[in-house]
Amino acid sequence: MLDNSFIHIQGIGEKSERSIWSRGIRTWTDFLECPECVLSEVKDCVIREELRNSMAHRHEIGFFAERLPSCEAWRLYESFRQRVVYLDIETSGGYMGADEITVIGTFDGNSVCSFVSGSNLEDFECSIADYDLVVTFNGTCFDLPFIKRSFPNITLPPAHIDLRFPLKRLGYRGGLKRIERETGIERDEGIRGMDGFDAVRLWKAYQWGDNRALQVLLEYNAADVVNLEPLMELVNRELKARIFPFGA
């Protein structure tokens, strides 16, 4: 989808992008090779310069993350999916003092990593450096601010897709678990129906010596991150079908 996008160019909004597509111009190359005036002589000149710049930075996600409107960050997924990590945190809910991170879960499309307070939480800072694109659900308001407070010197991936917003754009409202049910994603029976309050309760139980509670908490958190992948695929597929006139 990135090669089909023009909205990252300053001065090009949704209307102008649709106008470009309506001329049968699907890609950056199509625009550069078009012998006719597309928008206007001045605009076309600016766009061609910006497209050449875009092609020169094709493999640099930060270049596009800075230029795309945040609501269009989902367009990065197809081009950078090999460097994506799905992320979710659990917190103490203020148990025994300040609300702090108890677990950070990540999923790279192959394996889940769990970082636990009091065990290996500090390893997260090094691990996250391996990725260019982080995908969350409500991470803009919750997960990433929490992480930045807990790791003041951390360098997070240069691009972030918060699925809460494109899913809302597609008509899916409510929390992650509700949207999972609406889209046919099922959880294992042992953690089905659990929510963030249960995560806090399980952490309390673990602090009181119940090691099984920690295992259940990690299973719950793992489902949170693993289930973000099919939702990311859904967002990419459905939004592309909705806005792009030429299909996949």
Domain shared by 49 and 90, yes or no: no
Residue 248 lies in a domain: no
Cα separation, 201 vs 188, in Å, equals 19
Domain shared by 32 and 92, yes or no: no
Domain shared by 178 and 136, yes or no: yes
Helix (H) or strand (E) holding 182: helix 176-182
Cβ atoms of 7 and 72 within 8 Å: the answer is yes
Domain with 109 in it: what CATH number?
A: 3.30.420.10
For residue 93, the model assigns a pLDDT of 82
pLDDT bracket for residue 246 (50, 70, 90): confident
For residue 98, the model assigns a pLDDT of 64
User: Over 70: is that where the pLDDT of 198 sits?
Assistant: yes
For residue 196, the model assigns a pLDDT of 86
DSSP code at position 1: -
Residue 73 lies in a domain: no
Nearest CA among 191, 217, 227, 223 for reference residue 91 = 217
Domain shared by 205 and 162, yes or no: yes
The pTM (predicted TM-score) of the whole model is 0.93
For residue 144, the model assigns a pLDDT of 97
Domain shared by 11 and 121, yes or no: no
Mean pLDDT score across all residues of the chain:
94
Rounded to an integer, the average pLDDT of 36-47 is 92
Domain shared by 161 and 120, yes or no: yes
Domain shared by 43 and 131, yes or no: no
User: Each residue of 140-150: pLDDT tens digit?
Assistant: 999 999 999 99
Of how many residues is the chain composed? 248
Sheet holding 101-107, edge to edge: 112-116, 101-107, 84-91, 133-136, 159-162
Helix (H, G, I), strand (E, B) or coil at 242: helix
In which domain, by residue range, is 191 found? Answer: 81-235
User: Each residue of 112-124: pLDDT tens digit?
Assistant: 999 999 999 999 9
For residue 29, the model assigns a pLDDT of 96
Domain shared by 26 and 90, yes or no: no
User: Each residue of 213-229: pLDDT tens digit?
Assistant: 999 999 999 999 999 99
Residue 31 lies in a domain: yes
Residue 201 lies in a domain: yes
User: Over 90: is that where the pLDDT of 9 sits?
Assistant: yes
Write the DSSP string, 42-108. Answer: HHHHHHHHHHHHHHHTTT-HHHHHHHS-GGGGGGGHHHHGGGEEEEEEEE-TTTTSS--EEEEEEE-
Domain shared by 196 and 144, yes or no: yes
**Buried/exposed 49-75: b ≥16 CB within 10 Å, e otherwise:** ebbeebeeeeeebebbbebbeeebbbb
For residue 245, the model assigns a pLDDT of 75
User: Each residue of 54-109: pLDDT tens digit?
Assistant: 999 999 999 999 999 999 999 999 999 999 999 999 999 865 556 899 999 999 99
Rounded to an integer, the average pLDDT of 170-197 is 92
Residue 190 CB-density burial (10 A; 0-12 exposed, 13-18 middle, 19+ buried): exposed
Number of domains the chain is built from: 2
User: Over 60: is that where the pLDDT of 167 sits?
Assistant: yes
Tally Cβ neighbours within 10 Å of residue 170. Answer: 15
> Residue 188 — φ and ψ, nearest 5°?
-60, 150
DSSP code at position 247: -
